[in-house]
Amino acid sequence: MSQASDEDDEDDGDTVIWQLLDIDVYHGGGANIGELVLSFDDVGIYDAEDNQTCAFEFTKGAATLRDLNASTPEDEVLFTLVGDRVFAGEVDVPRLRDKDWREWDKLQLTYSGAGVWWGNYEVVALEANVDLELTTDTRKLLIAALLDGRCGSAGL
């Protein structure tokens, strides 16, 4: 089990936004666990009605998340994960490793410990109760989809 909390709630501390139980993601947490939001496995992400909405792809040095409901002939790449960084769309990994600014401009999220940061450590997006740097690529991409309102999520 892991929980994702929003740190912006000044009144009563952290508010649990999502709770991950095995392969399912629910709104809220603890005694306030709500409805099923998404499920996931090694193949993709599924909405609450168990329809696959997004697919994971793994290549050497990167993982991508594709939108299976995209209106384009080829499924749209939503995110590319390289290590602990999530980039918008598809990135050219060799150019990224060469510090090409055009690829680094696509940086959306950075995972550090239990925190998820917007961009390159700009603002904390959420905190988890587990070390997210040690989690799987599928969970990192799932969290990106949850935050961005993709694959059946309403977003943050």
User: Is 32 within a domain?
Assistant: no
User: Is 18 within a domain?
Assistant: no
d(CA 55, CA 68): 7
3 pLDDT above the threshold of 50:
no
pLDDT of residue 17: 74
Residue-wise pLDDT for 61-107, tens only, equals: 899 999 998 766 566 899 999 999 999 999 888 877 777 777 788 99
d(CA 131, CA 20): 14
148 pLDDT above the threshold of 90:
yes
Q: How far apart are the first and last CA of the chain?
A: 20
What does pTM read for this prediction? 0.84
User: Is 87 within a domain?
Assistant: yes
User: Is 72 within a domain?
Assistant: yes
d(CA 102, CA 89): 12
User: Is 53 within a domain?
Assistant: yes
Question: Could you tell me what percent of the chain has a pLDDT over 70?
Answer: 84
User: Is 156 within a domain?
Assistant: no
Q: For residue 68, what are the domain limits?
A: 41-148
Task: Please count the structural domains in the chain.
Answer: 1
User: Is 34 within a domain?
Assistant: no
Low-confidence winner among 53-57, 93-97, 105-109, 151-155 (lowest mean pLDDT): 93-97
- Residues in a beta bridge with 144: none
Residue-wise pLDDT for 11-24, tens only, equals: 445 677 777 778 88
User: Is 83 within a domain?
Assistant: yes
